[in-house]
Amino acid sequence: MTDSGTRRSRRPTRRAVTRGAAWTIPVIAVATPAAALAASGSPTIVGHQQCKCPGNSHPNAPKTYIFQVEFDPAVSSFVINGSVTVNGVSYAVISTTQLSPTVWEFRFKAPASADLKGAVSFSYTADGVTQMAVYAIVGTPPCKLGQC
């Protein structure tokens, strides 16, 4: 307070401005292309699910995560560009398989079979259109018998 009765406005700190900008830039970067692609009829991921082949319980796929993505409209080609990133750690994709005209599956190995939680991201190309997918995963149940 000052004796002259004038009000002093507090200006935001540089740290507060930077923190706010850090949250808005990724949202704008992901939301804008997704909206444009959806409006153009380009294939977009409309659903996903994941499971894990824990430990050595599945000799053909130890410590493997399986992701299934569903597209609208159906796609005839799907490729993961590079690796899958989970909480900042990159994992190589070991296979990609088409399960139906709209559903594709990809698998990647991890050094441990811990529950997959957190931010998952990957770049992909579907029918010639390259996009980025980012998901918040809350858990990864074990895969069904025979799925691994």
Check whether residue 56 and residue 120 sit in a common domain.
yes
The domain tally of the chain equals: 2
Asked if the structure places residue 19 within a domain, the reply is yes
pTM: 0.67
Long-range CB contact pairs, 79-83, < 8 A, 24+: 79/124, 79/125, 79/126, 80/106, 80/122, 80/123, 80/124, 81/122, 81/123, 81/124, 81/125, 81/130, 82/122, 82/123, 83/108, 83/122
* Average pLDDT rounded to a whole number, residues 9-22: 51
Check whether residue 24 and residue 73 sit in a common domain.
no
Query: Domain residues for 48?
Result: 43-137
**16-41 pLDDT tens trace:** 544 444 443 333 334 344 444 444 56
* Average pLDDT rounded to a whole number, residues 143-147: 82
Asked if the structure places residue 49 within a domain, the reply is yes
Check whether residue 28 and residue 75 sit in a common domain.
no
Check whether residue 33 and residue 51 sit in a common domain.
no
Check whether residue 91 and residue 126 sit in a common domain.
yes
Check whether residue 36 and residue 58 sit in a common domain.
no
- pLDDT value, residue 100: 94
Taking alpha carbons only, the member of 72, 63, 69, 74 closest to residue 124 is 69
Check whether residue 68 and residue 112 sit in a common domain.
yes
* Average pLDDT rounded to a whole number, residues 31-52: 68
Check whether residue 24 and residue 57 sit in a common domain.
no
- pLDDT value, residue 115: 74
Check whether residue 117 and residue 53 sit in a common domain.
yes
Cβ atoms of residues 104 and 93 within 8 Å:
no
- pLDDT value, residue 27: 36
